[in-house]
Amino acid sequence: METGSRVAVLGFLLSLLLSPGGCAEQIDPLLYEEQLLWVSGVQGQVNTYRIPLLSFTPKGSLLAFSEARKLSEHDKGQKFIAMRRSTDKGATWSPTSFIIDDGAMIDGLNLGSVVVDEEVGSVIVVYVLCFNHYHCSPSSTMMVESKDDGLSWSKPRNLSGQLGVKSFCPGPGFGIQKRYNPAKGRLVVCGHGTLKANGVFCILSDDHGQNWYNGGALKSIPYNQNKKAQDFSPDECQPVELTDGSIVINVRNQNNFHCRCRMVVRSHDGGLTLPVDSLYFDYELVDPAVAAGALVKDGVLFFTNPANEQHRVNLTLRWSLTDGKSWVKKAMQIWAGPSGYSSMTSLDSGSVDDEKYIFVIYEKGHTDYDETIAFAKIHLFGGR
């Protein structure tokens, strides 16, 4: 063997050792397995499951949540928060438990954000009651917490005393705990307001969820007034943290201001401000105005949405090796048919296995996107 080819072989072996799961340039996603976690209309007590959330836990489990709408498919109405738990990386799931029951509220609970505090090992779900002020007042921002990997949950706590009583619907998606400075350790949960008082709003906690305060806002225009088509109305959103410590928030463009695509806003101060100067429109991320998924894993930014300007169909996974400045041309179609809200997570133990997968939860159907909630385990390196 020539010296040159020996060096090449050595280099190849080294690269295998150094990047056991494959590297970002080799991403070639493969649907590894998929199962339906919830099916609307077939389980007693629940009419429709919607608004799926997915989270890792500090112990390496997965928790899936959804709104279990008791009487109809509508956003208002009485609901449970449904949860299922997997301790084997999504292969099998616990039966559904209803961790919250809003009783018979006419304008019941809405999800919501799930945020993991890795410093103390807790999982927090933030949700809203009476978001629309429909036969009720005021709106309350609520949280429940699990300190035992999702097995049991605290009594609900009302955060509106600390935050004020304005209508704030978290997420839907996950909140983040800052891993880098500024404000390492801070919990950041972002969400939106009512259609009139819409915008992206973040709430923050620097003491593991004991005390919360209002952070940055990116308000709609005209604020607190009825909107017209094409008005500026930032809505449901998903924050992620980049390695420079900034928070990038991918936002639903409710009234198609400027484009039928996603808006992105970035905070450089740990969520204290969401400067309008940082706002841009990502024309590649065409969108029918929906809650989308975003996730950073090993320096790669992933994005899921129904990639269609008009309809909630064609759930698509994209990825960016440049923090969202550009997207790899090759996208992965997860489901061609009706598909709605989506959210993602991954496990991060550093094990070779955990580097290979991301997990997507999304609304999936044949005729309507609210027929089922599907969990998809995606192998990032084409099964290798």
Strand order across the 261-267 sheet? 234-241, 247-253, 261-267, 280-286
Euclidean distance between CA atoms 77 and 71, whole angstroms: 7
C-alpha separations of 96 from 80, 81, 109, 119, 345 in Å: 11, 10, 18, 28, 20
Is residue 146 packed enough to be buried (19+ CB in 10 Å), middle (13-18) or exposed (0-12)? buried
In the complex with ligand NAG, the residue whose CB is nearer, 218 or 315, is 315
CB of 124 to ligand NAG, least distance (A): 17
Q: How far apart are CA 116 and CA 145, in angstroms?
A: 10
Return the number of other C-beta atoms located less than 10 Å from residue 77's C-beta. Answer: 21
Residue 151 near residue 215, CB atoms below 8 Å: no
Inter-residue contact 112 to 55 (CB < 8 Å): no
CB of 267 to ligand NAG, least distance (A): 27
CA 139 to chain CA centroid, Å, is 22
Residues 323-342 that bind ligand NAG (CB under 6 A): 331, 333
Give catalytic status of residue 369 as yes or no. Answer: no
- Distance of closest approach, residue 272 Cβ to ligand NAG, in angstroms: 23
Q: Does 320 bind ligand NAG (CB under 6 A)?
A: no
Cβ(329)–Cβ(272) under 8 Å?
no
Residue 160 makes contact with ligand NAG by CB under 6 A: yes
Nearest CB to ligand NAG, comparing residues 163 and 221? 163
Name the segment binding ligand NAG (CB under 6 A); options: 96-104, 112-120, 153-161, 290-298. 153-161
Tokens 């097995």 identify what position? 151
Nearer to ligand NAG, 267 or 320 (CB): 320
- Cα 113 to Cα 172: distance, rounded to the nearest angstrom: 5
Cβ neighbours for 12, distance < 8 A, ≥ 6 positions apart: none
Residue choice 57, 122, 314, 342 for contact with ligand NAG (CB under 6 A): 314
Q: How far is the CB of 160 from ligand NAG (least distance, A)?
A: 4
Min CB(292)–ligand NAG separation in Å? 13
* DSSP tag of 156: P
Q: How far is the CB of 284 from ligand NAG (least distance, A)?
A: 9
Query: Does 75 participate in catalysis according to the annotation?
Result: yes
Each residue 115-144 as x (binds ligand NAG by CB under 6 A) or -, in order, gives: --------------x--------x-x----
Query: Is 363 one of the annotated active-site residues of the chain?
Result: yes
Q: Does 163 bind ligand NAG (CB under 6 A)?
A: no
Binding site for ligand NAG (CB under 6 A): 129, 138, 140, 158, 160-161, 165, 307-308, 314, 316, 331, 333
Residues annotated as catalytic are 75, 341, 363
